[in-house]
Chain A
Amino acid sequence: MMIAYLQQIYSYRYLIKTLAAKELKIKYKSAVLGWLWSILNPLLLMLIFSFIFTYVIRVDVEKFPVFLLCGLLPWFFLSLSVTMATVSIVDNASLLKKTYFPLEVIPISVVGANFFNFLISLILFIIFLVCFGIYPTMNALYLSAVVVSQFIFVLGVSLVACTLHTMFRDIKYAVELGLVIWFYATPIFYPVTLVPERFRALFYFNPLTLFIMFYRDILLYKRTPDLILLTACALLSLTFLFFGGYIFSKFKKTFIDII
């Protein structure tokens, strides 16, 4: 049952790809520089952050720009994906009403498009690091595992948000608010050590904290991430995905009638 379900989605992989490509294309379609923006955007971001946090605001954290970007890039991936995926079904109502294909394709392609962007910025970030004199080590191989688990996690979250929003249109606003809280609740621009000891355990329940820790471990501190924690984190992500997929497929039959 579930395999057939996955197979069906898999058979639409080309559609997912095309839709994701469409998302990317449309985003910069009318811009003069076109797809260059998907490189320029993270690049400029990195340059601005490093300028500000190196010369303007001094934070007492070692290599703060790198530290910050290690958290910020995964965060952008999550927040953009969730925001866009939330409204994706409702926004594509006209398409969905007229043609038949698995609805999952829509949020998947949205997340996929953002994932692609994230990968580009990650590559740029590594180049950026090299410029800063931080050379990637063999530990960087763990990066793929982290990236994939984060993708699974983001997808799971997106599906949940999307389902809820399609059912109840208020969810969009709740998601927006939730993301703000989540941002601050995640040690992105501060190290987790800054959090008082008694709350710190709570922070580890936030999978994003773990992901950011992994990124920092791998890219900044050049150490092997905690593999047990990484495995646990991947399992958690999968659980999220199953949950998201479950509720999505449970409610998707009614989607067409209510969008």
Chain B
Amino acid sequence: MSKNAIDLKCISKKYSLDVTRRSVTKNLLSCLKGILRKEEVWALNDINFSVKQGETVGIIGENASGKTTILRIISGITTPTKGEVKVGGKVAGILDLGAGFFPELTGAENVYLNASLFGMNKKEIEAVYDDIVKFSGLDRFIDAQVKTYSQGMLLRLGFSVAIHVKPDIFLIDDTMAVGDEEFQRKCYHKIEQLKKTGVTIIIVSHDLESLSRICDRGLLLKSGRLIKDDSMQKIIVRYVEAVGDKQSVACIDKGRLSLIFNNGKIVILWDGRPLTKNFGGYLSLKTTEELIMSWRADWQVYEADSEHFRVEGIVAKINARIIFEVYAEGERRFKWQVTVDMPHAANIKQLVCGLMVSEDYGRFLNEQVIEELRNAYDAPAKWQVLYRTNETNAPLVLLGKDKLPIIAAHFNMTEAKGVRLIQHTDKNLDACVMQIQLDLPKNSLASGDSRVAVFCRANIELLKEDDFRTVLKHEKEKRTLNANGLNIEIKKDRIHIFYKHAELTKNQGFKFGFNRGGYFINIFEGAWEAQRTEIGELMVNSNFENLSVKLRLSLQADPQALNWKMSVEYSNGQGPIGLSANLFLSEKFRKFYDFGQELEFLNFTEHTEQVMLNRPNTDFICLSTDDNDSPAVIFIAQDDSRIELQNTDFYESARVLIARSFQTNSCSGKLILCKTNEEKEDFINAYQGALMADNILSNNKLSMELRRNAIRVCSDGIEITEMEGFKSSIFSEGRWHESVPIIKEFKKNGNEFKICIKRKKPHLNEFWLFKLEEDTIHWTVKLECFDELAGSDYKFGMILKSDFTQWEDSFRCGKFVEYKNTPYTIRGVGLDDILFAVKKEDDYSDVVLFETNDNNIEGIMAQCQKSGHVVESKVQLSSLAEKDLGKMTKIISGNIKFLKRDSWAKHIDKYRLSNFTILPKKDLQLFVAPSQVRLLWRNTKITCDDGLRVAFSNDEGKSESQNNVWQIKKICQNKIDVELYRDVFPVVQKWSFESRDNAIVWEVTFKVEKCFIIKEMLIDVRLIALFNSWFTEKECGKVNFETDIDKGAVFFDHRGSFVGANMDRICYEQPAVIFNLLGDSKDWSLNIFKHYKRKDMVGYGVKRIIRQDGLVLDKGSHDIFSAKIILTADKKEPILPKGIFT
């Protein structure tokens, strides 16, 4: 093997420059002159070297240094002017693209031709033809003319042929750059193979990395002279130094590291192998017009010694000065400082300081995970950000192959937001750049200064694998907290929580941020840095334009918990509006513990949308899983923060706990892990009972217990409240604000509780007073408002357990409608009464009576919720005035009674009768309640519940009195007025009842508010079916329920007529009801109809049929439409009340 494959002895080569004009005349002329005055150039001058067989030699040098001439001499294409060449073996290679290719011929023909140029015969070519085509990867194009080929394809074909001619000496001239990355790799792989088979290889290239990788030896040429013949690495160092203007080249050698500055580029060499490529370490300035790269500047070396250099470059165009200072701090570490001094008027928009790294570096560190760079071939040619961080001290790390040192670069620039790693994916310039970018907004710089200076610092470390692992570990440690299996980790812009290596968080992890301008801003969006303090806290500092956020995370042992505290400082202007911590928990947390009961989340299905679980804010919530091994978590918000609970949509499938702070500068809380169920229960109990010991009021029937977030009421030892027990809501700014169920202040005084609820938004304090008395809880609400709330609606109420299924007020009753699978759907069931009872299903159980004492209430309403039913009384804060701000004002008070069912019945009847009854005669009574007017005969109903009705209609709709809103007023002992409004028609009806002797006069008047058309009107009295006969002045008859219904059976045919009806004569004790229409009655008719639902009811009504096209009612025209009806009742034979007709 020691045989020399190539021997070059004293080789010189001379070229004359005027070859193109070679002519006889000129030659003759010069011969005649006797002087050979040709312009001559010695392309090579006394070159001596020999190459051993199997050696791989790289030749580098500037353009026109004689590299190609050497290859030509070796290949025999040309002969040296002087000297001796010995080449042992067959020479092949590619000295130029497309050499030996004839554009008119096809690829296949050219393969034959090209191979024959290397001296192969047909047989030999045929043997390797398939391999050639296969290697070139051009099967599809092989029959196309070569003139249609691209440069890359030519290279593929040329290279394929050249390596298949089985050369002994293989020559490559700088042609590889044309090929795409994949083919280049293939070529280099093939070259390596050739190398192994003992082929002598000579490469001329400017691609220093490839050379350093492949070549054993290097030759450095300059101006036709062999300057250095040494190991490739050393040659490269010399070459980089030697290229360009000598004046602006500086160099540091420190052990294996060499740093060479050459006209605006910094080249890093490791053992002579370049770690950078193309731009090297560079700076770019982007003005409004162009991009100025640092190597465009005029550079001058000012200081240079063995450890550092300082160079200055002038960019004349914008009058800027760039200063590079490089300090080598050892073999594996150097500092690079950049100062840019430029006039303010230079209009620099962007400043980028970067390091373009060799493609030997194929992996990068992405949040502690080593990832591969993208394959340039797959991606479109563009700059792609691989990794970006706002963290100010995070290093950019690239990992190379072949035990190349790992590059870790810490960039730091004043005001810059963060660093990033960019890959340019292009066949021609596939590079990875570590860079820091500073955007200069136009007005950010003080306008007074005429010049601006920007500094950038980069600490670049070249790490060994082991050191890197240490750094990685250190970096990781800097961002993790770890104790007893609980592990908090900051990854990129997320915080993850693990317990025993299982992640509790999901997706976005534990996200902290603040609200500014209506947008949530994650604290990791600022320039942040994370660090573990000496006391074992994880600290994140994040800086935004005018505010800085500090987040502290710490672990606590007993109970095992994560404490978090976020605080914000801002310099000027408005601070954030609210801070929040968002914990995205895994969907394995299926249950949440809420006010003493366990509820389940809805399962995620494809249709699941994000649900804000509509529940009051609390500061405490517990989530648990079905799995006994997974811990339950308790989320506690402190600092006046409140927790909201959300279920995300299907695609995210996470539970979200949001702690929102109403303070603008801090927000804190705890996340406690409970490993066992007992632990969880204990904790919940301890937490909820954490107020004071003396938190129970009780007597022999009732007890009331204050918890931290709930008020519990027990009757006979059975708990009847749900959730927080009592709640209030206030309507402000277009929505209801629920009370905050966190009791912070309370006072027990004998049998009284005084509780203070402080609200931040709207700003008010609520004082709830509860007094326990036998079976009654007396409550009073007082408010202390700080915001203008006069006129707002306010509700106070209690939340009862769901087994109270029925409700009843003075006039109505019903059941709560539960909508399954729709949590927290609210159904209002009434807003009428001051008295509301809620009953359990069976007839003997408890009734809870909720009543309000005050007259100013709008009513009591009930709502059905998934957990519990809310009964609350609503009041308008009309008594509040501006002067009351800050003063305590009584708003509303009431009682809650716990009764048995029978006592409730007594109670309600008593209540009803005592209120809305008029008694014209002892036997006949009129009972008026909202939507229900009834006649009673000796305390027995003779009409159905809504016995007296008025209905009217036109083409657009129908108005029925029972659907209106009723307002009842008892004027005096024998007179009740009712106003009905909120109708489909713009009409307010006024009914007035007056008792006269033995009759009741019912007068209906209309107040038309807006013009409308009426077509039909009906006034009816619905008697029970026992009233089965009728009579007028002239006729009488029996109601035939089969035929007479809805037919207008009896018509008034004369003025002043009257109708009546009485019961079956068999029952002499029953009265007859006389129905007497007063006034002009010619349009009216008597109607008999059946009750729409109940067969035992019969209706008698007067009907006024209005002309076909309707009657136009103008505003204010009420007389036409009024009616006066006299109802009287007597035993047996009806006696006409003559006296009352006029």
Where the two chains meet, the residues of A that have a C-beta atom closer than 8 Å to any C-beta of B are 11-15, 18-19, 22, 25-26, 29-30, 94-101, 167-171, 253, 256-259
Contact = CB atoms under 8 A, between A and B. Distances in A.
A99 B120 contact: no
B1055 to A, nearest CB: 118
A168 B27 contact: yes
Nearest to B18: A258
A258 B120 CA distance: 28
Contact of A96 (B25, B27, B77, B109): B77
A14 B99 contact: no
Interface stretch (B111-119, B579-587, B819-827): B111-119
A25 B117 contact: no
Given A168-B24, A170-B25, A99 B121 contact: no
B96 interface: yes
Centre residue among A95, A100, A253 by max chain B CB count within 10 A: A100
B1043 interface: no
A61 B133 CA distance: 60
A252 to B, nearest CB: 9
B117 A15 contact: yes
A170 B72 contact: no
Contacts of B25: 170
Contacts of B95: 97-99
Contacts of A19: 113, 116
A167 B26 CA distance: 12
Given A99-B99, A168-B24, A25 B120 contact: no
A256 B80 CA distance: 11
5 contacts: A14-B122, A22-B109, A29-B105, A95-B99, A257-B16
B952 interface: no
A243 to B, nearest CB: 20
Interface in B63-94: 72, 75-79, 91, 94
Contacts of B105: 22, 25-26, 29
A12 B76 CA distance: 15
A14 B126 CA distance: 13
B140 interface: no
A13 B121 CA distance: 8
A100 B121 contact: no
B77 A100 contact: yes
B28 to A, nearest CB: 9
Nearest to A174: B24
A11 B116 CA distance: 10
B15 interface: yes
Interface in B457-486: none
A167 B22 contact: yes
Nearest to B15: A257
Interface residues of B, number: 33
B102 interface: yes
Contact of A18 (B16, B75, B91, B116): B116
Contacts of B972: none
Contacts, number: 86
Contact of B77 (A29, A168, A169, A256): A256
Nearest to B114: A99
A26 B103 CA distance: 10
A256 B78 contact: yes
B109 A15 contact: no
A38 to B, nearest CB: 16
A95 B100 contact: yes
A98 B104 contact: no
A15 B99 contact: no
Given A14-B120, A18-B116, A19-B113, A100 B23 contact: no
A12 B104 CA distance: 22
B23 A168 contact: yes
A99 B92 CA distance: 8
Contacts of B15: 257
Given A95-B117, A98-B96, A169-B22, 8 more contacts: A11-B119, A15-B116, A26-B105, A29-B105, A30-B104, A97-B96, A99-B117, A171-B24
A257 B77 CA distance: 9
B19 interface: yes
Nearest to A23: B102
Contacts of A29: 104-105
Nearest to A15: B116
B988 to A, nearest CB: 101
B117 A97 contact: no
B108 to A, nearest CB: 12
B23 A169 contact: yes
Contacts of A98: 77, 94-96, 99-100
Contacts of B19: 257-259
Nearest to A30: B104
A97 B77 CA distance: 6
A100 B94 CA distance: 11
B164 to A, nearest CB: 15
What 4 A-B pairs have minimum CB-CB distances, sorted nearest first? A98-B99, A15-B116, A256-B78, A14-B121
A14 B25 CA distance: 39
Given A30-B104, A169-B23, A258-B22, A99 B77 contact: yes
B102 A22 contact: yes
Nearest to B116: A15
A25 B113 CA distance: 12
Contacts of B24: 168, 170-171
B776 to A, nearest CB: 111
Contact of A12 (B16, B78, B102, B119): B119
Given A95-B99, A99-B99, A257-B15, A22 B22 contact: no
A169 B95 CA distance: 26
A14 B15 CA distance: 33
Interface in B13-35: 15-16, 19, 22-25, 27
Contacts of B102: 22, 26
A100 B75 contact: yes
B104 A15 contact: no
Contacts of A25: 104-105, 109
B1001 to A, nearest CB: 119
A180 B545 CA distance: 91
Given A168-B22, A168-B23, A257 B78 contact: yes
A101 B113 CA distance: 12
Nearest to B173: A98
A100 B76 contact: yes
Given A26-B102, A167-B22, A97 B72 contact: yes
Interface in B157-215: none
A96 B91 CA distance: 14
B80 to A, nearest CB: 10
Contacts of A171: 24
Interface centre among B24, B77, B104, B109, by most chain A C-beta atoms within 10 angstroms, is B77
B529 to A, nearest CB: 58
B118 A99 contact: yes
Nearest to B162: A99
B104 A26 contact: yes
Nearest to B121: A14
A13 B109 CA distance: 17
B91 A253 contact: no
Contacts of A259: 19
Contacts of B79: 253, 256
Contacts of B96: 94, 97-98
B119 A101 contact: yes
Nearest to B171: A100
A237 B109 CA distance: 34
Nearest to A101: B117
Contacts of A99: 75, 77, 95, 99-100, 117-118
Contact of B113 (A18, A168, A257): A18
Among B78, B96, B118, max chain A CB count under 10 A is at B78
Nearest to A96: B77
A167 B16 CA distance: 13
Nearest to B23: A170
Contacts of A12: 116, 119
Nearest to B96: A98
A29 B106 CA distance: 11
